[in-house]
Structure 1
Amino acid sequence: MELIRKFTRKTRMFGELVMFSHTLFSLPFALISMVWAAGGIPSGYVLLWSLIALVAARNGANAFNRLVDRQFDAANPRTAHRHLPRKLLHEREVTTFVVVNFAIFILAAGMLNPLCLWLSPVAIILICSYSYTKRFTWLCHLYLGFTIASAPIGAWFAVTGEFAFTPFVIGTIVMLWIGGFDIIYATQDIEFDRETGLWSVPRVFGLDEALFIARGLHTIMVLLLFSLYVLQDLGWLYLIGILFATILLAVEHNIIKPSNRKRMNVASYNLNQVISMVILFCTMADYFLT
């Protein structure tokens, strides 16, 4: 029983380390991409290995980011409670976790098709390199979005094994969306970033300008969502989903208060998880019911 309790505790801590619940940011768009690519529900085989690849890549990338940022996390009062600064997990454990997840990702990619297998090392390099961008460029937020955008693009490749235009539109939407709310989240660390030399849009441009940029990114995101209505010949249920998503984005920007951590978590995380699920539900309902 003690062994089971230790295993359960470690599993829970690794889930917290990689913020597993945040899979809702990329998973809904990956599912949309797979359904559109397959012209319906993809085969169980493709769906299984695609989900394994998505989760493994995301877990490996997030754990790697925690390793690379552990000294900054320890110095920042907002993040000092995380697992590595508090020694709840050891560096060797997290390193092993990263290696195992990336190995699973490569295996899953190979089980899908040759294109996915060939691109898997490139994907690993891209998603890991994000952890270093905040050291030299304020474009780190968009780069984060770019790496997460690989999920819907890769999902399309998993189904078809071919390049196409639509998945890159979906990927651009994800990039702008993630980049926008990551800028919002980063407004909490303006002073810390200035003191430590880390780069971010809020540190370089200031609070008001950073929030203006975030609104601009989300505006372009909404316009691209509407463009998919034409590109994919979608219907009214999809438009309702985009309308609700737009309203939620407006709420997100109206409740921002960097000094209030709870409100910032709602704006940066909770509302965006709802947005992705609304888009997924309405898009699937539109595709299969109209």
Structure 2
Amino acid sequence: MKSYWVKLKNLLELVKFSHTLFALPFALSSMIVAAWGLPSLRILIGILFCMIAARTMAMAFNRYLDWEYDKQNPRTQNRSKLATKRQILILGIISLVIFEISAASLNFLCFALSPVAAFLIVFYSFTKRFSPYSHAVLGVCLSLAPLGAWAAVKGSFASMLPFLLSLAVFFWTFGFDIIYALQDVEFDRRFGLYSLPAQFGEDLSLKIAALLHFLAWIGWAFFGFIGGLRWPYWIALGVVACILGSEHVMSRKREQAKIEKIFFELNAWVSVFIFIGILLSIGIQGYGKQ
């Protein structure tokens, strides 16, 4: 029995299950704005299952499709020791099934859109083989989280708010994935893989990432203004500006440890602070009053 728990732990470590925090807070943020508070328990659980399954599916298929590359990359070569290629494929398929069932449990719109989301999630893993704009595709994938959560609550897209939040998440993800790609510039060039830093150079790529993060912040500001959010949200957005600024200061040194910290810690705090700001703002204004 112990060996099964060890295998499960290794699988979850391989797909970085603990980093579901990237997109989940944005889905929950969209959910509470759409419901102006908390929706029914059924919708909340459905959204949680969709998000966790989608994130696990994305990482599992990415690990499966990049298996041979990861084994040759000094930064990722230990991944193959955590699980077998077959195990990671099975995890991806199981996650896909859970994702589809969870989407179907929400409403017809979510179920109808779920194959599109699943396709994009899997397609992303191929893009680095032929385009330097794989970072943008990842941005599209994460930007689906607030749209999906809004659809789960409302059953339609009769508001521009989820699209504003989605656009901001797109810019944010696009930017931080460019920074993350700095770690593999030499490897990507040697093996014929594409990324913005490998294709256009690190200095230009960092400038593009900074511009994208500025656009993300503007998007979040418009979301808060049009959504009528109060002071807790704007304080949170101020903190987010500081976090994004520190990311770009740290990324200039291009040290792997700092880039890992940017990707896995600071970016998680961005989504968490925005979620907390929205939650407190709606709490002050009163649930169900909009």
TM-score by length of 2: 0.95
Cα deviation code 1:75-94 (max 9, x no counterpart): 11111111x2x3x3112211
What is the 5 A alignment of 1:140-159? Answer: 140-159=134-153
8 Å contact from structure 1 (residues 115, 162) kept in 2: yes
What is the 5 A alignment of 1:51-66? Answer: 51-66=48-63
Residue 108 (structure 2) pairs with residue 111 (structure 1): no
User: How far apart, CA to CA, are the structure 1 residues paired with 2:254 and 2:210?
Assistant: 19
8 Å contact from structure 2 (residues 182, 254) kept in 1: no
8 Å contact from structure 2 (residues 25, 271) kept in 1: yes
What is the 5 A alignment of 1:183-262? Answer: 183-256=178-251, 260-262=255-257
What is the 5 A alignment of 1:64-83? Answer: 64-82=61-79
Q: Which has the higher contact order (CA 8 A, sep 6+)?
A: 2
The letter of the residue matching 1:153 is L
What number of residue pairs does the alignment pair up? 284
In structure 2, runs of 5+ residues without a counterpart are 286-290
Counterpart in the other structure of 1:94: 88
What is the 5 A alignment of 1:11-30? Answer: 11-30=8-27
The letter of the residue matching 2:19 is H
Cα deviation code 1:110-131 (max 9, x no counterpart): 1111111111112111110000
1:130 to 101, 124, 131: 124
The letter of the residue matching 1:76 is N
Q: Counterpart of 2:251 in 1: which secondary structure?
A: coil
User: How far apart, CA to CA, are the structure 2 residues paired with 1:18 and 1:149?
Assistant: 20
Identity level (%): 40
User: How far apart, CA to CA, are the structure 2 residues paired with 1:144 and 1:232?
Assistant: 26
The letter of the residue matching 2:70 is D
Residue 88 (structure 2) pairs with residue 121 (structure 1): no
Q: Counterpart of 1:81 in 2: which secondary structure?
A: helix
User: How far apart, CA to CA, are the structure 2 residues paired with 1:138 and 1:258?
Assistant: 22
Cα deviation code 1:15-35 (max 9, x no counterpart): 111111221110111001001
The letter of the residue matching 1:238 is Y
Counterpart in the other structure of 1:31: 28
Deviation at 1:259, TM superposition (A): 5.0
Cα deviation code 1:214-257 (max 9, x no counterpart): 00000000111111122101111111110000011111111125
Following TM superposition, the consecutive aligned residue runs of length 4 or more in structure 1 with deviations greater than 4 angstroms are none
Residue 177 (structure 2) pairs with residue 182 (structure 1): yes
User: How far apart, CA to CA, are the structure 2 residues paired with 1:107 and 1:200?
Assistant: 34
The letter of the residue matching 1:35 is I
The letter of the residue matching 2:21 is L
8 Å contact from structure 1 (residues 31, 152) kept in 2: yes
8 Å contact from structure 1 (residues 28, 280) kept in 2: yes
In structure 1, runs of 5+ residues without a counterpart are none
Cα deviation code 1:244-273 (max 9, x no counterpart): 000111111111256522111112221111
Cα deviation code 1:4-59 (max 9, x no counterpart): x1122122112111111221110111001001111211110100011111111111
User: How far apart, CA to CA, are the structure 2 residues paired with 1:156 and 1:19?
Assistant: 26
User: How far apart, CA to CA, are the structure 2 residues paired with 1:53 and 1:236?
Assistant: 31
Task: Report the aligned-residue RMSD.
Answer: 1.2
Cα deviation code 1:139-159 (max 9, x no counterpart): 110110110111111111111
What is the 5 A alignment of 1:271-286? Answer: 271-286=266-281
Counterpart in the other structure of 2:160: 165
Q: Counterpart of 2:78 in 1: which secondary structure?
A: coil
